[in-house]
A and B are shown apart, each in its own frame.
Chain A
Amino acid sequence: MSLLQSLKARDRVFDFMATEASPVDVRHGPILYMEDVTVSFDGFKAINNLNLTIDDGELRCIIGPNGAGKTTMMDIITGKTRPTEGSVWFGSRHNLLQMNEPEIASLGIGRKFQKPTVFEALSVFDNLELAMAADKRIFPTLTARMTSEISDRIDDVLETIGLTALRFQPAGILSHGQKQWLEIGMLLMQRPRLLLVDEPVAGMTEQEMERTAELLTGLAGKQSVVVVEHDMGFVRSIARKVTVLHQGSVLAEGSMDQVSNDPKVVEVYLGSDEEESA
């Protein structure tokens, strides 16, 4: 339980997360701004003029039944999918629709996938090293050397995600939960301005969930965090503001209590619950 202790002594633990000066311009308004975004596959609209804004340092939870377009939304933000129409801005300077994944990533948007994807052939240590914010062009990468401060940073993160013992094991042998943590660790190494976290606690134990909650809330404020989650308990435990997606557009927005009392939301969820049980 080294982590819980470390979490108590914030000033020491989380200093490595201090965000570096980033080009993102948030002086006026939100850090992420999506307007009238629509995506359609063969006519089917996965996203239907969606409007969403995330403020700098905000922790936002996004919920919604299957097929509501949560993952697609993340794909759009990270540049994997191009919307049919609409605009997506990162801060007030960067139009994300004109960038590809690596550019967006190096701009400071980190993403954790629904299904944890780590580099299984590489050791936990290597996974973190690759993720680390650094000069990621070819020759710097080729000639990169291991310095003490880099390994210190990696060690710190290893400790935070509790994988120190497994540092030299290939990520392939990790348990599902451990992979989730490793991926979070990689996010931390990236030092993003905006974290997109897709179902972080799937397959986690109660304790692990607790730690994740701590971590995410701890991140908020310095970095903006968007969490997509099914687990209502977890959402409730961290949520300040919740957005409900349905059929590709925002159904409701507000505090957890507001939305959970919203009749539309209830209706949708009852319906979707049956689907899920089916």
Chain B
Amino acid sequence: MMTQATSSQFWLTRPFGERATQTFLGVLFAALLLVTVLHLAVPQGHPLHVNAYTVNLFGKYLSYALLAVAVDLVWGYLGILSLGHGAFFAIGGYAMGMYLMRQIGDRGTYGHPVLPDFMVFLNWDSLPWYWHGFDMAWFAFAMVLLAPGLLALVFGFLAFRSRVTGVYLSIITQALTFALMLAFFRNEMGFGGNNGLTDFRELLGFNLRSDATRLGLFIATGVALALGYILCRAIVTSKLGRVCVATRDAEARTRFIGYRVERFQLFVFVVSAMLAGLAGALYVPQVGIINPSEFSPLFSIEIVLWVALGGRATLYGAVIGAILVNYAKTIFTGIMPDAWLFALGALFVLVTVLLPKGVAGLLGHLKRRKEDDHPPKEAAA
């Protein structure tokens, strides 16, 4: 992945110069186009017609893919195995969910102009302070990025400053998301407790219960994925990206040549958290509910599996992995529910033991393309 020498282009436009990125964007947009055409142009009942349900499904996969890219950025290039990225995803989702709740207005079951239903029947008389402002789209969307970013900033600052790395970091990220899950389950928190936020109606005035909106969200997610991908590519191909790799492989050495390692870690960690938040925000309106189970450690660690399966430190691998696993999940839980957990568990074992470089690694082998980068021989951070 590492370019031979940093080209003299502007850092953000750099990725467009790479073949890998070009192919990725090509495939992605082709897929978006294909689905859109099959959905709109092909008449109902024709065997090739893609119905709204499927479009919605793919939209969900794409938001997962974006989440996977975010995780790959920190794990693949920074060597930080975060078992808490589900938290950032969920927080982004909640920010969006709060906006959507406010959009319901007085159409809730109790017809209350301000308070969401769950607050009414738990007898809250006024909106908690942190719910204010979420009726404004710009504010809510800002929060989608800022809230996870802020959490990552505080948590990361403490963690990296005191040089908590490797397994320790993984464990406390897990504890972080676990604690947040417990917290959001509490009804006092004012986020709807276990029921979370549901019954969404409109997003920016578009009716969430119409197929057109679903298609729109699907495309929007695709575009977001593309942008996120480009941003990550731009980062990892920049000199900063190489500092990250340097940190991953020899943290102390990187310090001795004068880099404030903890700051670089923090920067990338925050960017990744924001991307995760964005993914969550796109996920929520498509599935129509956000609740604390998104914080569950199981989910966070599953994300890591997507990345591992797709191929660490190759962003497109993360995308492939996310789509593969979730697709398999849809099939399995549909056809043989009991087998699913076996399959998932087996995947964890097989991928880590037999396929450390993931699918992307395989593809690389098959193509026998000699690349300049060698994914870390010891993936241990």
Do chains A and B make direct contact within the complex (CB under 8 angstroms)? yes
Which residue numbers of A lie inside 8 Å of B, CB to CB?
78, 80, 100-102, 105-106, 110-111, 113, 117-123, 125-126, 129-131, 133, 136-138, 141-147, 151, 168, 170, 172, 186, 190
A121 to chain B, nearest CB (A): 5
Flag if A102 contacts B258 (CB, 8 Å).
yes
Given A78-B256, A122-B246, A138 contacting B264 (CB threshold 8 A):
yes
The answer, yes or no, to whether B62 is at the interface (CB within 8 Å) is no
Residue B158 CB within 8 A of the other chain: no
25 A-B pairs with CB atoms under 8 Å apart are A78-B256, A80-B252, A110-B256, A113-B253, A118-B250, A119-B253, A119-B254, A120-B249, A120-B376, A121-B249, A121-B376, A123-B2, A125-B4, A125-B5, A130-B243, A130-B259, A131-B257, A136-B258, A141-B239, A141-B240, A145-B11, A146-B5, A170-B373, A172-B374, A172-B377
Contacts of B249 in A (CB 8 A): 119-122
- Contact B245–A136 (Cβ < 8 Å): no
Chain B residue numbers with a CB within 8 Å of A144 are 6, 11, 238-240
Interchain CA distance A237-B342 in the complex, whole Å: 66
A126 touches B2 (CB 8 A): yes
Residues of B within 8 A of A170 (CB): 372-374
- B1-50 residues with Cβ-Cβ distance < 8 A to A are 2, 4-11
For A142, list chain B residues within 8 Å (CB).
11, 235, 238-240
Q: B255 near A: Cβ within 8 Å?
A: yes
A142 to B377: give the CA distance in the assembly, Å: 26
Known: A119-B250, A129-B239, A146-B7. A136 touches B259 (CB 8 A): yes
Cβ–Cβ contact B264 & A122, under 8 A: no
Contact of A136 among B6, B253, B260, B373 (CB under 8 A): B260
Interface size on B, residues (CB 8 A): 39
Q: Which of B4, B245, B254, B263 contacts A138 (CB 8 A)?
A: B263
Whether the pair B255, A117 counts as a contact (CB closer than 8 A) is no
A170 nearest in chain B by CB position: B374
Check B245–A145 contact: CB distance below 8 A. no
Determine whether the beta carbon of A137 is less than 8 Å from that of B243. no
The answer on a CB contact under 8 Å between B8 and A145 is: yes
Q: Report B344-381 residues with CB < 8 Å from chain A CB.
A: 372-377
Question: What is the CA–CA distance of A110 and B256 in the complex, to the nearest angstrom?
Answer: 7
Contact present for B258 and A121 (CB under 8 Å): no
Bound complex: CA of A100 vs CA of B255, how far in Å?
9
In the docked arrangement, what's the CA distance between A120 and B331, Å?
A: 41
> Which chain A residue lies CB-closest to B375?
A121
In angstroms, Cα B250 to Cα A111, docked, is 14
B131 interfacial by beta-carbon distance below 8 Å: no
Cα A137 to Cα B377 in complex, Å, equals 28
Which residues from chain B contact A121 at a C-beta distance below 8 Å? 2, 245, 248-249, 373-376
Given A151-B5, A168-B4, is A123 in contact with B372 using a C-beta cutoff of 8 Å?
A: yes
CB distance from B256 to the nearest CB of A (A): 5
